[in-house]
Structure formats: structure tokens, C-alpha cells
Amino acid sequence: MRATIYVTDDDQNVCAALSRRLVKKGHHVRSFHSGPSLIEALEHELPDLLFLDLKMPEMDGLETLRQIRQKIPKTLVVMLTAYGSVEDAVEAMRLGAYDFLIKSIDFSTVDPALHRAITFLELRRRIEFSASEKQRQYSWEHVIARSPAMTRVVEQLKFFDAQDTPLVFLQGEVGTGKEFLARILHYNSHKQLGPFVTVSCNEQRGSLLEPQIFGYERGAFSGASQSMPGAFEHSDGGTLFVDEIEHLPIPVQGSLADAIRTREFCRMGGFDRLPTNNRIVVTSSIPLDQPGYQEIFHPELRSLLEKQQLFIPPLRERKEDIIPLVIKTIHAYGEEIGRPKLDIDSSVPPLLDTYQFPGNIRELEAMIRRAVLCSQGPVLTSLDFYSQHPGSGEGLPPNTGRVLFEIGGHSLQDIQVMVIDEVLRFTKQDREQAAGYLHISTQTLDEYIQLRKKISHETERS
């Protein structure tokens, strides 16, 4: 990068020689011969990097640094001296200097320091650019909240952020946008420059989740040949997103509750309690008070989550948001595939208004993508939202959601199996979407599938 660099030294020969060296490397350079002249220049322009002589007659480098530090919080300051002391170096670093160099006749010590500083500046710019892109992607304006239900959600999220709440619990059906809202909260908070670390409890075996979340010490278990940090340490200063907490083993839930309560945790196999400075966002598709499911939550964790619970409504309870979501998704996907001016006609809203969207926003987005790919022109009609092959399980076929059976010919258990088979066929064996259609968790669906296999096996044996 081409940096703006200020050189300040009372020795005009040193100042000129160093400035020439920096100019030859392609940088924009200005030179000053005293602290006051530098301070005056900073009123008009701020440099990326400042080389500042320690020993100057009118105002020495440390006093100059002391006066300008608040004005140039992002400028890197490299102190220069012909005869430095440890005390001077320590004081310079305490005041915020980036580096401390002993001047040489040929300035050979400057080049490595310059390289380190430029590398740091480039990295910081990339991080800041990435953060600003994320802030645009996850700004509050991207949350569609025309419905009263979602308006309340946005208000509560903003309240949590204003209170700097260390724990937020988002409860809602599969596909309601819980991770999106967690990212909205992160990138609009003072933790936005910190990391956003995700732990998906449903995608790992239970035994692997504890070391993934808390890290581990060497020898903590077979194969732990060295110590490793976990998600708590990786997310320090940012957000730890724990998705589908109901799949986290109960003992690990207890450790998580302790970490939330004390703001400290231990690595697996360790004894030292490490401090944490992150926000923890936990999600579940199962209500804490749902009958028959209380035992899947650790009592201490449930108590903490109940105090910070925010219900994310299913799409069928926020009808006012459906068409704005459709328009937003059509425009975004259209841009992505090179069709930026897509729209819908008047036949689409009545059609979508009658549909229940058991898969919620995730299903709506998938439906829109299929409709866009099926459409021939710039305006999507209701026909584009119906499957090209009725009954294939895509789009909105006329017989969506119907399972036929003869009354009196089957037991309740048989009917349950038939319904689950049909929903799995309809979703092409997508367990998560099928669970959404049935309004149950994937864990419960798995139990039903095992029951189906057992019934089938017993039938074959008889």
C-alpha cells in the first residue's frame, strides 16, 4: 500500500535522508523539525505512519507523543533515537508507540520496521473493510418487520444490545431465521469487530462438542497431544453462537451454564479458570416448557435461558412480512444470477397468503429460487410458484399436504408412520425440513423413524 508518512526530527539532515528513503519506496512523505509544527499539521491531515525523534530541544518526542495520541488513535508511531534507554522505550510503548528504533547511519533498521508497520496497516484495512461489508449485509434495514410480531422481536433485540446482555436465547421453529438475527445483533453491536463463532450442536457427536466449545489441555483425552483453544477463546470479544442447544449433552449444558453465570470457564482437562468477554447467543427449535421435553435441558441452563428468551415467530404468524420477503429475495437472487429487474404480478400475493410455510423463511427462499429458475420473463406469476411436475414435492402443487387412508383400516401408530413416510417423500428425505412440516424437532423425528423401522421389522418377522 502507498502510505502517508510523517517524519519529525530536529536534525534536518536526518529528516531529509529518511524522507528520501521513504519516498523511493513509493510513499507520500512530509517532514517536520519540531513537535509543535507536527501538532499543527495534524489539524489538517492524519498520517498512516509517523516516525518521531525522541530527543528534540523544543518539545521532546515523548511529550509530543503524549499530546498527539488522542488526535491520532489509528496512526502507528515509531520512535527514533540515537541512544535509547530501556526506560525511554517502556515509556514510549506505554504512551502508545508502535515501535522503538535506534537510528543507524545507513537507516538499515528502518526498513524492517517499515515493513512490519505496512503489513499491520494492510491487515487492519482488510479487517475494517470486511467488518464494514458485514455491517452493510447485516444492517437493521435488512430485517423485514412489517408485522407486529417481528416488530416486537426487533425492539427486544435492540434492547438486549443496549443493555449489553451477555446471553440471548432465540427460540423458534426450524427455518425462522434465528442465525440471521444473531448476526444482525452481532454486527450492530459494539462487538461487531470481534469474531462471530458458530457451534452447531446437531452436526457433531455429543462427545466432540465439549472440546469444541471449551477447548482442551494436552492429555485431556486419547489423542490430545497438544493444548487447543475452543470456541469460547476464539469468540472472545465477539459472539459465540450455539445452535440447537437441545442436542448438547446435559453435562456440557451444565458447564455452559456455569460459564454464562461466572463469565469464566475451564478447558477440558484443565484447572485454570479463564475469563471470557463474549456474548453468547443460544437457539432452540423446542420451547423450554414443551411437555415431555423438560429433561433435555439442564435445570441451571433452563433457568438462565428463561430470563433471556425471545420467541421468533413462524412465517405463518407474520403474514404482513411475506411479500416484502419475497420481493427482497427475488431482487437478491436476481442480482446473483444476472437478472436484476425481476418482479411479481398480482396473482402471487393471494397464492402465498393461503400457504402455511411449515419450513418458514428457509422454505420460502427455496421456493422463490425455484420460481425464478422456472420463470421465462422479468415478472413472476403464480404459475411459476407451482411445480413443473405436480406431485414431485417442489413448488406448490395442488395436493400439497394430503395423506389419504381408509378410516378404520389402520391403527394410530400406523397412521403416524404413513404421515412421516409421506412427509419424508415430499421433502426428498430432508429431515430438517420434514421436522419443520411436522412441527417437531429432528430428534423426535429420528425417534419416529426408528419406530417405523421397528414396526416394519416386526411385520416382516410375523
Average pLDDT over residues 374-385: 84
Do 66 and 183 lie in one domain? The reply is no
Q: Is residue 405 part of a domain?
A: no
**250 vs 230: CA distance, rounded Å:** 19
Task: Say if residue 39 is in the same domain as residue 116.
Answer: yes
Residue 37 cell numbers, joined: 509544527
How many angstroms separate the CA atoms of 311 and 162, rounded? Answer: 19
- In single-letter form, the type of residue at position 394 comes to E
- For residues 85 and 71, membership in a common domain is answered with yes
Q: What is the per-residue pLDDT across 349-364, written as a single tens digit (0 to 9) for each?
A: 888 888 889 899 999 9
Looking at the fold, whether 373 and 418 belong to one and the same domain comes out as no
Distance, CA of 168 to CA of 309 (rounded, Å): 7
Give domain status of residue 438, yes or no.
yes
- 402: in domain: no
- In the predicted model, what is the mean pLDDT of the chain? 85
Do 174 and 61 belong together in one domain? no
Domain span holding position 213:
144-313
101 and 182 together in one domain: no
- Give the pLDDT mean for 312-333: 94
Q: Is residue 136 part of a domain?
A: no
In order of 17, 266, 270, 278, 409, the CA distances from 210 in angstroms are: 58, 11, 13, 18, 48
| Averaged pLDDT, 133-144 | 86
Task: Decide if pLDDT at 457 tops 90.
Answer: no
Same domain for 335 and 426: no
Residues 307 and 279 in one domain: yes
Where does the pLDDT of residue 92 fall: very low under 50, low under 70, confident under 90, or very high at 90 and above? confident
The SS3 assignment for 442 reads helix
157 & 171 share domain: yes
Please tell me the distance from the alpha carbon of residue 311 to that of residue 173, in angstroms, as a whole number: 9
Most confident stretch, 126-130, 216-220, 374-378: 216-220
Q: Are residues 321 and 372 in the same domain?
A: yes
pLDDT band at 450 (very low <50, low <70, confident <90, very high): confident
Instruction: Say how many domains are in the chain.
Output: 4
Q: What confidence score (pLDDT) does residue 306 get?
A: 95
What is the rounded CA–CA span in Å between residue 95 and residue 77? 10
CATH code, 188: 3.40.50.300
Look at residues 289, 313, 337 and tell me which one is the last residue of a structural domain. Answer: 313
Write down which residue in 264, 286, 313 finishes a domain.
Answer: 313
Residue 370: give its domain's CATH number. 1.10.8.60
Percent of the residues in the chain that have a pLDDT greater than 70, as a whole number: 89
Q: Flag whether 225 is in a domain.
A: yes
Q: What's the Cα-to-Cα distance from 448 to each of 143, 205, 341, rounded to whole Å?
A: 36, 20, 45
Rounded to an integer, what distance in angstroms lies between the CA atom of residue 103 and that of residue 107?
A: 6
Query: Residue 411 has what pLDDT?
Result: 62
Residues 205 and 276 in one domain: yes
pLDDT over 90 at 348, yes or no:
no
Taking CA atoms, 335 is separated from 23, 87, 330, in Å, by 43, 59, 8
**Is 427 inside any structural domain?**
yes
Are 229 and 218 found together in one domain?
yes
Q: Is 392 within the bounds of a domain?
A: no
Q: pLDDT tens across 146-176, in order? A: 999 999 999 999 999 999 899 999 999 999 9
Mean pLDDT of 243-247: 95
**Phi first, then psi: what are they for 403, rounded to 5°?**
-125, 120
What is the Cα–Cα distance from 224 to 229, expressed in whole angstroms?
A: 12
Instruction: Pick the last residue of a domain from 95, 130, 165.
Output: 130
β-pair type (4-8, 28-32)? parallel
CA 61 to chain centre: 42
Query: What are 110's three cell numbers?
Result: 528502518
For 196-215, what is the mean pLDDT?
90
The per-residue pLDDT for range 258-294, each reduced to its tens digit, is 999 999 999 999 999 999 999 999 999 999 988 888 7
For the segment 420-432, the average pLDDT, to the nearest whole number, is: 78
Q: 139 lies in a domain?
A: no
Residue 47 · residue 119 · CB < 8 Å: no
All three cell numbers of 59, joined, read 518539545
- Separation between Cα atoms, residue 174 and residue 432, nearest integer Å: 7
